[in-house]
Structure 1
Amino acid sequence: MKYSDEYRHKAIVQGLARAIGAEVSSQRAYRFMEFCGGHTHAISRYGLEDLLPANVRMIHGPGCPVCVLPAGRVEMAIQLVKRPEVTLCVYGDLMRAPGSQGHTLLRAKALGADIRMVYSTLDAMRIAEQAPGREVVFFAIGFETTTPQTAVMIRIAEDKRLQGLSVFCNHVLTPSAMHSILENPKIRNTGGVPVDGFIGPAHVSTIIGTRPYEPLSERFEKPIVVAGFEPLDVLQAILMLVRQVNQCRHEVENQYSRAVTREGNRRAKEEVSQVFEMREQFEWRGLGLVSKSGLKLKRSYEKFDAEARFALHEMRLPDNPACECCAVLRGAKRPVDCKLFGNACTPETPIGACMVSSEGACAAYWTYGRFRDEQVRQTS
């Protein structure tokens, strides 16, 4: 397949792996966090860790919007949809995201709540247009990649004077989470390891560009390389990170230049800035409260804000104490370190958010069999 096979070329992959092996120093360890769940899946799918030297370790980051959505926000949505006049529109992978005491939107739907699975913001708008007597709430979630679509939906809804449509906003910001991981010793060192550099997210960066990472790289003296999702992309990014570490550099580099620029998508950013503003803080599963990391609707669009419209109160609830998802999201543990992984917790019976979401690290380990050899070693 043109423009796909080229980035999976076996000989070039092997050449990059040899180059990494030749340039790493045996006198030190290299610990790189791939922030995005898409990179975690690429690494697992193509077995890229098996091509790396033993002293190059990939740490899985919190780059999955469903995974980092805290239990309290799920519970708020469950409480909201108990109102008989409310129709809640959600993306499919949110249906099994864990709330309080194992509650999920899927369970709420089974008990009679009006919850509709949608594929886009346009679906939610169409439902609102076809049901003028209902309160249709769109469960908005995602990093900077999906925020522009929500902003455009709100502006169109205003132009059409849709009275029954509102948004439960859970859009969060990637650089703030990276800042929290680097700055907060409680997060960084809770059973985990320091991070020597980041593979920056690809889809997010097509919107925001590479510029927002520059203050992070400068302040914490960590290299950041934005990379695509193909095997050659990831291995080239690792090689670029190794070279920066060896040369004591800390710069933002763009491996994914075929899709990402320094300035990003200016039109998309303008749409977002017109509708949204920063929250003072927002809770992330695994990271806790992170300042300047979430978005909310501006006062001029408050009539579309479900939290204001229905007087929703913020809820902060504990996660299942037996599940290690929070530690996995911090990079402190791997999925196979959780006693529930592959036993009580599988894609058919997920307990933690990292197994629920298709982009979660636990789902990646399970889907591509990265747990099998580890389980054999643990039981032998």
Structure 2
Amino acid sequence: MKYIDEYRDETTAQRYVEAIRRTVTRPWTLMEICGGQTHTILKFGLDRMLPEEVTLVHGPGCPVCVTPVELLDKAIAIASHPEVIFCSFGDMLRVPGSHRDLLMVKAEGGDVRMVYSPLDALKLAQQNPDREVVFFAVGFETTAPANAMAVWQAKQMGLHNFSVLSAHVLVPPAIEAILDAPGNEVQGFLAPGHVCTVMGYWEYEPIAERHRVPIVVTGFEPLDILQGLYLALKALEEGRPGVENQYTRSVRREGNVQAQQLIRQVFEVTDRAWRGI
């Protein structure tokens, strides 16, 4: 399968492992940000292939996992109102709040529905003009454009019964929080390729410069991860902070400019809690 099989080639993977072994001369600690990258590392045993000098710290990269309890409690409270149709992706339905989860609300009679797209929730708002339809918008910058488009379309259609409970998070502030934390030992990062496909990597450049760390935009297949690790470790060994793009088949420095404009038009950046940081 194109763009899959060639990035899982065992011989090429071993070459990257050997290149990493030749490059590393001292202990280094790296963090992959995205949960998809963590899944690949563990599924294919990439961490067990690396020399003992390399330590991988798994980052805070699952948007479901980092959603704080307070926000889940708010979602559960909203979903409990009889006039509300509460919509969410399936992975949020079983995440517990302080006392219960959204599936329990549904079992108690709440109108909680699983959707596959924010546009599904928008359609429900059109079909149920006498009900308030609330979409639980969870995710990194990757899902923000689609959710922003749903809000924009609702405004264009004059829908007054569609709203969004936003649980979006941004990656660059999380990286800064980790680097600023007392006792931080992370010396370099693999940045999430899907996020950077939307946002580009220009936002990471001042972070890399300010904290003197390498940040490598990395994909999600085994060879992506190994190449990203090699580039980050090579930069560390050479004392060369900055941003490199391993995921060139998907990511440009400027990202998807139109998607970014839509995000800025609909959403406002504010402080919020991030579970685990």
Q: TM-score, normalised by structure 2?
A: 0.98
In structure 1, C-alpha distance between the alignment counterparts of 2:181 and 2:119, rounded to whole Å: 39
Aligned to 2:159: 162
Aligned to 1:259: 250
2:119 to 105, 119, 122: 122
In structure 1, C-alpha distance between the alignment counterparts of 2:62 and 2:155, rounded to whole Å: 30
Whether 1:14 and 2:4 are equivalent positions in the alignment is no
After TM superposition, what 4+ stretches of structure 1 lie above 2 angstroms from structure 2? none
In structure 2, C-alpha distance between the alignment counterparts of 1:249 and 1:86, rounded to whole Å: 53
Which amino acid is 2:222 matched to? P
Aligned to 1:145: 142
Whether 1:45 and 2:35 are equivalent positions in the alignment is no
* CA deviation map 1:327-355 (0-9, x unaligned): xxxxxxxxxxxxxxxxxxxxxxxxxxxxx
In structure 1, C-alpha distance between the alignment counterparts of 2:136 and 2:2, rounded to whole Å: 36
* CA deviation map 1:3-41 (0-9, x unaligned): 21111111100111111111111xx21110000000000
Aligned to 2:259: 268
1:282 to 263, 272, 276: 272
Aligned to 1:322: none
In structure 2, the residue corresponding to 1:124 is in which secondary structure?
helix
Aligned to 1:291: none
The size of the alignment, in residue pairs, is 277
In structure 1, C-alpha distance between the alignment counterparts of 2:80 and 2:34, rounded to whole Å: 33
Q: CA deviation at 1:184?
A: 2.2
In structure 2, C-alpha distance between the alignment counterparts of 1:91 and 1:156, rounded to whole Å: 20
Whether 1:215 and 2:206 are equivalent positions in the alignment is yes
Aligned to 1:84: 82
Whether 1:135 and 2:119 are equivalent positions in the alignment is no
Which amino acid is 1:247 matched to? E
Whether 1:105 and 2:102 are equivalent positions in the alignment is yes
In structure 2, C-alpha distance between the alignment counterparts of 1:83 and 1:236, rounded to whole Å: 50
In structure 1, C-alpha distance between the alignment counterparts of 2:53 and 2:107, rounded to whole Å: 49
Q: CA deviation at 1:2?
A: 2.2
Q: CA deviation at 1:106?
A: 1.2
In structure 2, C-alpha distance between the alignment counterparts of 1:221 and 1:106, rounded to whole Å: 45
* CA deviation map 1:101-122 (0-9, x unaligned): 3x11111111111100000011
Structure 2 residues not aligned, in runs of 5+: none
* CA deviation map 1:53-99 (0-9, x unaligned): 01111100001110000001000111111211011000000001121
In structure 2, C-alpha distance between the alignment counterparts of 1:14 and 1:286, rounded to whole Å: 34
In structure 2, the residue corresponding to 1:240 is in which secondary structure?
helix
Q: CA deviation at 1:141?
A: 1.0
In structure 2, C-alpha distance between the alignment counterparts of 1:169 and 1:10, rounded to whole Å: 41
In structure 2, the residue corresponding to 1:253 is in which secondary structure?
strand
In structure 1, the residue corresponding to 2:39 is in which secondary structure?
helix
Aligned to 1:300: none
In structure 2, C-alpha distance between the alignment counterparts of 1:105 and 1:133, rounded to whole Å: 22
In structure 1, C-alpha distance between the alignment counterparts of 2:32 and 2:152, rounded to whole Å: 34
2:69 to 68, 71, 74: 71
Structure 1 residues not aligned, in runs of 5+: 288-380
Aligned to 1:35: 33
Which amino acid is 1:98 matched to? P
In structure 2, the residue corresponding to 1:175 is in which secondary structure?
helix
In structure 2, C-alpha distance between the alignment counterparts of 1:229 and 1:58, rounded to whole Å: 15
In structure 1, C-alpha distance between the alignment counterparts of 2:81 and 2:3, rounded to whole Å: 49
